[in-house]
Amino acid sequence: MTAAHETPLLPEVLRAYPYPWDNAFIWTSEKQDEQILAYARAVLEACLPPEPLATPEPPDEVIVHDSYDDEYPEWTAIRAVLRERMPYARYVTAERMADAEAECARRGLATSGFQEVWTRRITAWIAEQTLYWCGLMVDDEAALTPWLMDFAELYVGRGMAAAKAVGALSCTKSVPETRAAFARLAAYEGLPDEIRESVEYELR
């Protein structure tokens, strides 16, 4: 457990998140009852940035190839350091973040704006997992309507977990609210090209 003197960096609802922040598949074992759906909704509300991000988060996951010539981006090494010190959201504290920053500096890794960047990035991974579960694993579309569609549209527009948000919408295409969300997103300015292409594909 987090020591009493440590300062949490995430809101309380995220500190209760029972899964590792970088594992999208733990959610799949959860039953789709009212309680877990209410928690998923609360998580999405807590993770949503108040305004569009200057840079989309989180970064695209690395695709592993057979070639050993490909170098992993630096952020993957930083994430490994964070995993060691704070594998669950309840451990994301100012003190552990400072310790991770010091270790990354020792290794010559980038540390500019460290706490802000990585708190936001961990939040984005949690949002991704939750959107993924809601879209792919929840069969009761009525239980997701309209809140999932509303959140997914907001996530795309604000540049956090956008690909997973589009994916969640694509899993609920039979719902009129989803079609309406896609139509509005198609009119958004400033969407990354790959996200815009996905939205336009879903509208065909």
Task: Give tens-digit pLDDT for 140-197.
Answer: 899 999 999 999 999 999 999 999 999 999 999 999 999 999 999 999 988 999 999 9
pLDDT of residue 2: 55
Positions in the chain short of pLDDT 70 = 1-4, 24-25, 64-70
What is the number of domains present in the chain?
Answer: 1
pTM for the model = 0.93
Q: Domain for residue 187, yes or no?
A: yes
> For residue 72, what are its two tokens?
């992993």
Q: Domain for residue 4, yes or no?
A: no
**Helix, strand, coil share of the chain (percent; to 5):** 60, 5, 40
DSSP state letter for 23: -
> 192, 147, 188: which is closest to 169 by C-alpha?
147
Q: Domain for residue 93, yes or no?
A: yes
pLDDT of residue 138: 84
pLDDT of residue 3: 56
pLDDT of residue 79: 97
3-class secondary-structure state, position 9: coil
Domain residue limits at 64: 12-202
Q: Domain for residue 92, yes or no?
A: yes
